[in-house]
């Protein structure tokens, strides 16, 4: 069975369908879903959903888009939230210099604060990264001691060359529907350059819907399409990819997910 390592069931497009999504998980060959927060409110909902459904887990954090709204009270909530065994990580946090919804200096400040929080709580970090590859690399290299409990670049969209540099820092990488797009010319090489023991699968639903459903709402059940594309690129058996990525996901998120 598959694990969706990064989903947003707390998004307004999916929240009213959560009951149906979870009910259908066995039929859709889904073992677990990691539901990821992106601001204070969505993180609260993420924790609530994790406590409501046995096969849904949570991450809490502030996305770079919302970095300008970060407050001490949010961090205090995150610190309390991770005491719950269903809360597995701090995320998603990071840098996004494509949209610049928050000033870049504020993004960096809030990212480092949350990276420090993750380390102090002995939790892995889920990192969002867009158009800020070198700045992120520099920050992580300068703070490599804070990666002790793991970090993943979710929905990695950078170059194969940059991936090699991040891999030297011990990072994990997850891939979603974008690798199925017809215009994703560099994705096969990026996948091939990813250390097989650091590769995870995700949907990022309701975003990044894979072919042939691109343009429609994404769902966790479409994770199988991502797995099949990875298997095709690597020339490996589908079941081998499922088994390997599941092992990687459980290693990254720790023993609470292995139960």
Asked if residues 33 and 25 have their Cβ atoms less than 8 Å apart, the reply is: yes
Task: Give the residue carrying structure tokens 């809360």.
Answer: 87
Weakly modelled stretches of the chain, pLDDT under 50: none
CB contact at 8 A, 51 and 84: yes
pLDDT tens digits, 140-167: 999 999 999 999 999 999 999 999 999 9
The answer to whether the beta carbons of residues 136 and 143 sit under 8 Å apart is no
Alpha-carbon distance values, 232 to 88, 105, 133, 174, 235 (Å): 30, 40, 27, 16, 5
Mean pLDDT of the residues in the chain: 97
CA-atom Rg of the chain in angstroms: 17
User: What is the DSSP secondary-structure string of 203-225?
Assistant: --TTSSPPTTSTTS---GGGHHH
pLDDT of residue 259: 57
Per-residue confidence (pLDDT) for residue 257, from 0 to 100: 87
What is residue 7's three-state secondary structure? strand
- The pLDDT assigned to 34 comes to 98
How far apart CA 90 and CA 239 sit, in angstroms, is: 30
**Selection from 242, 173, 174, 178 nearest residue 210 by Cα:** 178
CA dist 170 and 182 (Å) reads 30
CB 85 within 8 A of CB 107: no
Query: Per the confidence metrics, is the pTM higher than 0.75?
Result: yes
Q: Would you call 246 helix, strand, or coil by DSSP?
A: helix
Q: CA angle at residue 46 from 43 to 51, to 5 degrees?
A: 130
The residues spanned by each domain of the chain are 2-258
Q: Could you give the CA distance from residue 208 to residue 202 in angstroms, rounded to a whole number?
A: 10
Partnered with residue 201 across adjacent β-strands are 175
CA distance 5 to 187: 19
The Cα–Cα gap between 44 and 90 comes to 13
CATH fold of 2-258, please?
A: TIM Barrel (3.20.20)
């Amino acid at each position: 069975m598959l694990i969706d390592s990064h989903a947003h069931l707390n998004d307004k497009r999916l929240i009213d369908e959560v009951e149906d999504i979870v009910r259908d998980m066995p039929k859709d060959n889904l073992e677990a879903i990691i539901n990821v927060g992106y601001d204070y409110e969505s993180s609260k909902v993420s924790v609530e959903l994790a406590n409501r459904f046995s096969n849904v887990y949570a991450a809490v954090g502030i996305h770079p888009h919302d970095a300008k709204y970060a407050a001490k009270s949010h961090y205090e909530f995150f610190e309390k939230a991770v005491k719950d065994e269903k809360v597995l990580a701090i995320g998603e946090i990071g840098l996004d210099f494509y949209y610049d919804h928050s000033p870049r200096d504020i993004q960096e400040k809030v990212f480092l604060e949350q990276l420090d929080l993750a380390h102090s709580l002995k939790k892995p970090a889920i990192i969002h990264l867009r158009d800020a590859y070198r700045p992120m690399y520099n920050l992580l290299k300068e703070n490599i001691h804070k990666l002790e409990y793991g970090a993943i670049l979710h929905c990695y969209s950078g170059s194969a060359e940059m991936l090699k540099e991040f891999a030297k820092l011990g990072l994990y990488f997850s891939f979603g529907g974008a690798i199925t797009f017809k215009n994703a010319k560099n994705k096969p090489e990026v996948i091939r350059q990813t250390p097989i023991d650091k590769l995870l699968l995700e949907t990022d639903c309701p975003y990044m819907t894979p072919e042939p459903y691109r343009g429609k709402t994404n769902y966790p059940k479409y994770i199988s399409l991502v797995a099949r594309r990875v298997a095709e690129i690597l020339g490996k058996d589908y079941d081998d990819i499922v088994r390997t990525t599941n092992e990687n996901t459980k290693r990254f998120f720790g023993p609470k997910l292995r139960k």
